[in-house]
Every structure is written in C-alpha cells, then in structure tokens.
Chain A
Amino acid sequence: MIADLLEYDFLRQTFITGILIGIIAPLLGTFIVVRRLSLIADALSHVTLAGIAFGLFLEKKFSIMILSPIYSGLLFSVMGSIFIEKLRSVYKAYQELAIPIILSGGVGLSVIFIALADGFNTELMNFLFGSASAVSRTDFITIFIITIFVLVIISLFYKELFTLSFDEEHAKVSGIHSKQIHLLFIILTALVIAASIQIVGVLLVSSLMTLPVAASMRIAKGFKQMMFLAIVFGELAVMIGLIAGYYLNIPPGGTIVVVAIIILLIAIGYKKLPVATKGART
C-alpha cells in the first residue's frame, strides 16, 4: 500500500482521512466513555445512515445532487443529537431511553429510504462496513474541516468539558453553563460520527470511539494521558486496519476493529503484570 499510496491520489486521501478520524474519534470518545454515553455513538451512527440513505435516494430518484451523501448524513446526525438531548430531558429518570428511540428511528428511516430508492448495493455496503477507496475529494475536504473545527472547539472548551465530565454537580454550582456545553459536545460527537463513517462504517464507528479509550483507561494515570494514549491506540488501529484491509480486500471497518480489540486485550494483560501495578495502591 505504501508504494500505491505514492502513486494513487485517492488512496492517499483515504489514508490521510484515516489519520484524521484516528485523532478525533478517540478524542471525543474519551469524554463519551467517562460520561457513560458510549451508546449514543451507536444511536447517532444509525441516524447518520438514514441521512446517507436519504442523500442517495434523492440522487437516484430525483437526480438532485447534494455533492455527497455525507452532507445529508451530517445533517441527520446533528439533528439526531439535538433530538437525543431533548428526549433525555423529557425522560429525566430514564435518560438511556433516548438511545433505543433514536437508534430504531434511524434504522427505520434508513430502511424506508433504501426501499424507496430500490436499493443501492455497493455504495451502501461501503457505508455499512467502511471502505478503503470511497473517500472522494469533497469528502476529504469536508472531513478535514470537521477535524480542524473539532480540535479547535475541544481545546477552547477542554477545561469546561473536563470539569463537567468529572463532577456535573460541582460544575453547575461553580457557574459553568452545563447545558450549553453539553449540547455543543453532543453536536461535535455527531460531526465526528458522520466524518468517521466513510472509513469505519455505520456499524463499527462507535468502536473506534470507545475501544481505544477502554484500552488507555487501563494504563493512564490522568485524564490528559488517557486522551493521548487513546489517540495513539486509535491511530494504530486505523493505520494497521486500513493497510490490512487494502491487501486482504476486506472492508477496513472490520480490520480496524479487530486491531483495536487486540490492543485492548494487550492493555488488559499489561495491567495484570506486576510491573504495571507496582506503586498502585489497593
């Protein structure tokens, strides 16, 4: 792939896109995991699928070109994220209810749009399981802009996000606008999911947000360290997974997740070594 990388533009784009989502997916994932919102990623990825299906449907049936179905995916994902927040405030005592509602809604809409468009085969496969060759120039630029945006917002609001994640009550008492910050965060999550779907696919996108974090959590002593390690693990999984997927002719979503799981298992094993637990108190 390395030689091919130099030769083919589209491969280079895919690889750089992989590197970008290898940063932003575990970065957002760190906050998602510690706030116990892991399943939100799954719900939003299915809503994104509905958006993508809607975009493909418009394209096929009405020849309305919206540049790329990733835009309708983004739109649906962001709307879904705002809707999840609404539902979470409606069902205060059962906040997790928002997730199956949004997830099934996303799948339902996807099925409808796919059927209305009389099915779309390869393209849909690419979106479900990821693709090593699907990243177009437009998508690449969109994902690049999303990455910059996410990095800027996260660094500007890092201290508020951390404070809120660690202790929501304390954050509120000290005067942090927890609702607004949370909404901003959930919209960022929606953007990252829509961006990641190109490479890892709808069904596996949440794993890229949670598995590297689950692994780094075993090792890190602090939050920033955990974030940094999660990104390193995420990058490893994306790069090895993309290259392996390319050579074995397997959708990269599958290979990326398998590599991430191997990293996770190593991290769990590492914690059990006496060296790692030395100094840790019981």
Chain B
Amino acid sequence: MNSIISLQDINFSYENKTILHHINFEIPKGAFVGLLGPNGGGKTTLIKIILGMSKPDSGRLTLFDKSLEEFKDWNKIGFVSQKSNSFNKGFPASVYEVVSSGLTSKVGYLRFFNHKHKEKILQAIDAVGMSEYAYENIGNLSGGQQQRVFIARALVSEPELLILDEPTVGVDYENVQRFYELLHELNKRNGITLLLVTHDTGTMTKYATNIACLNKTLHFHGKPEEYENLTEKEMSKLYGHDVNIISHDH
C-alpha cells in the first residue's frame, strides 16, 4: 500500500456553485502534506469529503485501499478541526477527560476504560508535553496548550493518518512554532501521515514533504522546493489575485 488517501476526479458543488472541480490527489504513507489555498478555495470541503461528512457529486475516494463505502476503520484517522479552538471554553472537563474522549469509539459500546486505556491516555498527554496539566480544567489553558490537548485526543486512538484543519488559528506565534515541531516529530519519529490545512506557507515549506494548493482545482502538488520556485505569475493564478509572498526567516 502506497497511498493512504486517493481521490479520483472528485467534484463537489453547493447551491449550483462549483466548490471542487476534478480533484485528483494522493497522499502517500508517511507523508506530511501541507494543503494551502485561499479562503473559500474548498480546503475544508475536501477534508469533509475525506472524513465522509460530505458526499461528493462524483468521483472516487479510497481510504487505506478501501472505497468510502467499505471503509469502517475510522479509528485509523485522527482529526483536529478548526472548531477545536472555538469550543465552549466554559465546559468543565479536565485535560485527561478530553483526551479520553478520543478513545470512546475505539473502546466501543458497553465497555469501560481499563488500565491499559488509562495508560494510553496519559501517554498521549505526555506525547504533546501536557503531563503537568493532565488534571487541569481545559478552559484554564492557553490557546496553544488547548490545541495540544486536541492533538492528544486525536493521537490517543493511535491513528495512522492525522488530519488537521487550520489548527493554529488564534494561537500565538511562538506556540505555533512549537506546534509545528511537535507535528514534525510525530511524522518523523512515529511515522504518522499528516494532512495539514494551513495558511502558514512559510513554515510549511520548512516541514512538509509535499505541498498541495487548492483553489477549486488542484493548482499545484509537489515538493516544497518546487513550490518555492513558483513564479509570481503562477502564484497569482493559484490564488486568483495578486499576492505578496511573505518569506519567513528561520
């Protein structure tokens, strides 16, 4: 098996407006894919299709070599949504409890968390460097820390693929860097395949193994080096208007 996700000629429209047009896209095992593109370019829709939350008008989607209809092993996919950051801050749950909810469906109905599960939960919290806060109320943590907790929730079921939809919105710069370091490590050391939707072009070219640019159609899909060599003209075609390329110095 080489591709974890394979999209073939996916089309999607909403109220007669084309959102996704003939998308062909593959994510190889072990890749760290940065999905870039302007707002309204269809990034979140594409993620929703991959997660089975939206149905494409046409096209074929394969997850772990199985068609969407056959695919049942949702525990192989971890998801950290954009909304994780705008959850109800007053919700009285400890970090441990939030992370444990990532195991709920894997453990299954009418079964309880046992000792092994509890260890896994603590390990996931440790993996994102939040052990110190395991029994704190999540509402008392900073945005960056909360996002780490949501990564831990996604990691606890030991997924092979982790999908993150703009997870760093509202997180301060320093924490964003630490966050990317964490993702890099998960990808390199634990071999987790990553699909990250982001606006953060500069950082992505540093960490990602593949870059994909989406604006209705897939305008570019290749290595970060190739992406950096795109001309300004190609860039503006991609974003549909003139862009200033901001470079980050790291």
Measured between beta carbons, the chain B residues less than 8 angstroms from A223 are 92-94, 97
A156 and B110 within 8 A (CB) = yes
A159 and B101 within 8 A (CB) = yes
Residue of A nearest to B112 (CB): A159
B24 at the A/B interface (Cβ < 8 Å)? Answer: no
Number of A-B contacts (CB under 8 A): 86
Please give the distance in Å from A69's CB to the nearest CB on chain B.
Answer: 35
B93 and A163 within 8 A (CB) = no
Bound state CA distance, A188 and B34, in angstroms? Answer: 45
A176 and B137 within 8 A (CB) = no
A222 at the A/B interface (Cβ < 8 Å)? Answer: yes
Interface of chain B residues 102 through 130 with chain A (CB within 8 A): 102-107, 109-110, 112-113
A221 and B53 within 8 A (CB) = no
A159 and B107 within 8 A (CB) = yes
B51 at the A/B interface (Cβ < 8 Å)? Answer: yes
Please give the distance in Å from B98's CB to the nearest CB on chain A.
Answer: 6
A166 at the A/B interface (Cβ < 8 Å)? Answer: yes
Given A159-B113, A170-B81, A280-B140, is A217 in contact with B101 using a C-beta cutoff of 8 Å?
A: no
A169 at the A/B interface (Cβ < 8 Å)? Answer: yes
Given A221-B137, A226-B92, A281-B140, is A174 in contact with B74 using a C-beta cutoff of 8 Å?
A: yes
Question: A222 touches which one: B79, B92, B101 (CB < 8 A)?
Answer: B92
A174 and B135 within 8 A (CB) = no
Bound state CA distance, A172 and B52, in angstroms? Answer: 10
A34 at the A/B interface (Cβ < 8 Å)? Answer: yes
Please give the distance in Å from B234's CB to the nearest CB on chain A.
Answer: 35
Please give the distance in Å from A122's CB to the nearest CB on chain B.
Answer: 41
Given A169-B81, A222-B135, is A176 in contact with B105 using a C-beta cutoff of 8 Å?
A: yes
B8 at the A/B interface (Cβ < 8 Å)? Answer: no
B9 at the A/B interface (Cβ < 8 Å)? Answer: no
Bound state CA distance, A174 and B98, in angstroms? Answer: 14
B178 at the A/B interface (Cβ < 8 Å)? Answer: no
B96 and A222 within 8 A (CB) = yes
Q: Which of B97, B110, B142, B153 is most buried by chain A, counting CB atoms within 10 A of its CB?
A: B97
Bound state CA distance, A281 and B142, in angstroms? Answer: 9
B141 at the A/B interface (Cβ < 8 Å)? Answer: yes
- The bracket for how many chain B residues form the interface is 35 or more
Bound state CA distance, A170 and B102, in angstroms? Answer: 8
Given A176-B104, A176-B105, A281-B140, is A162 in contact with B97 using a C-beta cutoff of 8 Å?
A: yes
Measured between beta carbons, the chain B residues less than 8 angstroms from A166 are 87, 91, 93, 97-98, 101
Interface string of B69-81 (1 = CB under 8 A from A): 0000011000101
Interface string of A217-247 (1 = CB under 8 A from B): 1001111111000000000000000000000
Measured between beta carbons, the chain A residues less than 8 angstroms from B157 are 174
A221 and B104 within 8 A (CB) = no
Residue of B nearest to A34 (CB): B91
Question: B104 touches which one: A174, A217, A226 (CB < 8 A)?
Answer: A174
Q: Which of B75, B81, B104, B142 is most buried by chain A, counting CB atoms within 10 A of its CB?
A: B104
Question: A173 touches which one: B79, B94, B110, B136 (CB < 8 A)?
Answer: B79
20 extra interchain contacts, Cβ-Cβ under 8 A, other than A157-B109, A174-B105? A34-B88, A34-B91, A159-B100, A159-B112, A166-B87, A166-B97, A166-B98, A167-B87, A169-B81, A172-B53, A174-B74, A217-B90, A217-B92, A220-B92, A221-B135, A221-B136, A222-B92, A222-B97, A223-B92, A223-B93
Could you jot down 14 A-B contacts, CB within 8 Å?
A159-B101, A159-B107, A163-B104, A170-B101, A171-B105, A172-B53, A173-B74, A174-B104, A221-B94, A222-B92, A222-B137, A223-B97, A280-B137, A281-B140
Q: Tell me the B residues contacting A by CB distance below 8 Å.
A: 51, 53, 74-75, 79, 81, 83-84, 87-88, 90-94, 96-98, 100-107, 109-110, 112-113, 135-137, 140-142, 153, 157
